[in-house]
Amino acid sequence: MSKPLIIPKGYKSLLDLYQTERAIKLVKDTFQQQLSAELNLRRVTAPLIVQKGTGINDDLNGIERKVSFPVKDMDDIVAEIVNSLAKWKRMALADYGIPEGYGIYTDMNAIRPDEELSNIHSLYVDQWDWERVINRKERNIEFLKYIVRKIYEALKRTEYVVYENYSVIKPVLPGDITFIHSEELQQMYPDLDPRERELRAVKKHGAIFVIGIGSVLADGKPHDGRAPDYDDWTTPTENGYKGLNGDIILWNPVLDSAFEVSSMGIRVDKDALIRQLEITGTNDRKTLFFHKRLINGDLPLSIGGGIGQSRICMFFLRKAHIGEVQSCLWPKEMQDLCKKNNIFLL
């Protein structure tokens, strides 16, 4: 079932349909160039489908259904549409021989049939997936923050380029991004759920990076779910906290809400993988292709993440619905409500 729509009072798009299509290209071209330059990334081609049972596909929160089908010319083996490319990218770093300090990025396209459709969620997911080789000394919270700041600079430059081309869209991002651990959020707002905590924090700061997503907090619940085999969410860091991952969240002035644009982190090493498989009761994954390569030391240490393409287009173009920057399938009642309120879906 779809979530209730947020209908901004008196909403009207700042750009018409033709301007919007041109601006989408501007945002995507600009941001990927900025991201590539900031993080030393080269563009590569990535798969849309992978073979089921290899451990290459991502499980996200572990409950979402994957789109799958039998392949006639391969004895009906089952193929799956990727959920993301976190594991594939890490293998690509090894297979392509990418040196330390450099990495790759690619267009990731997925179909997630269990998404609850809303202003910011659709069945179709398009994002830039990126991965960069690091060394053992860089597996720490300060290096994670260093990379986050670089991504944030790419976001700010993109916003300025949009303003230069469409002066009606004024920049709103603050000069710096604020770092806050999920444990700190839980201590600050113990009576609120994680989404409400994020809302309070990002409304105050404008842009935040929530660190440590996956481990159980003091209240006995995780801030959000994370699969056990890509981000490292259990390594101790500082002040008794855990986790070398997190989310970039911006304050969205159109929706008057928190707006996540990226999930990322330092990836598991052998010890973190084994630890997190144990915590989640998924030790059986150790025999899968990806997991065996990691445990055997065949894969480099890395940091990586995904950055929503339609999400940042929606944010920078000040749109009220992701369907204004992405063509997808929507319930008729949602289409009718949007049209009634000047929200025209592609």
Catalytically active residues, by annotation: 58, 112, 127, 247, 260, 263
3-state secondary structure the chain: CCCCCCCCCCCCCCCCHHHHHHHHHHHHHHHHHHHHHHHCEEECCCCCEEECCCCCCCCCCCCCCCCEEEEHHHCCEEEEECCCCHHHHHHHHHHHCCCCCCEEEEEEEEECCCCCCCCCCCCEEEEEEEEEECCHHHCCHHHHHHHHHHHHHHHHHHHHHHHHHCCCCCCCCCCCCEEEEHHHHHHHCCCCCHHHHHHHHHHHHCEEEEECCCCECCCCCECCCCCCCCECCCCECCCCCECCEEEEEEEECCCCEEEEEEEEEEECCHHHHHHHHHHCCCHHHHHCHHHHHHHCCCCCCEEEEEEEHHHHHHHHCCCCCHHHCCCCCCCHHHHHHHHHCCCCCC
Following CA atoms 313, 315, 320, 323 in sequence, which dihedral angle do they give, to the nearest 10 degrees?
20
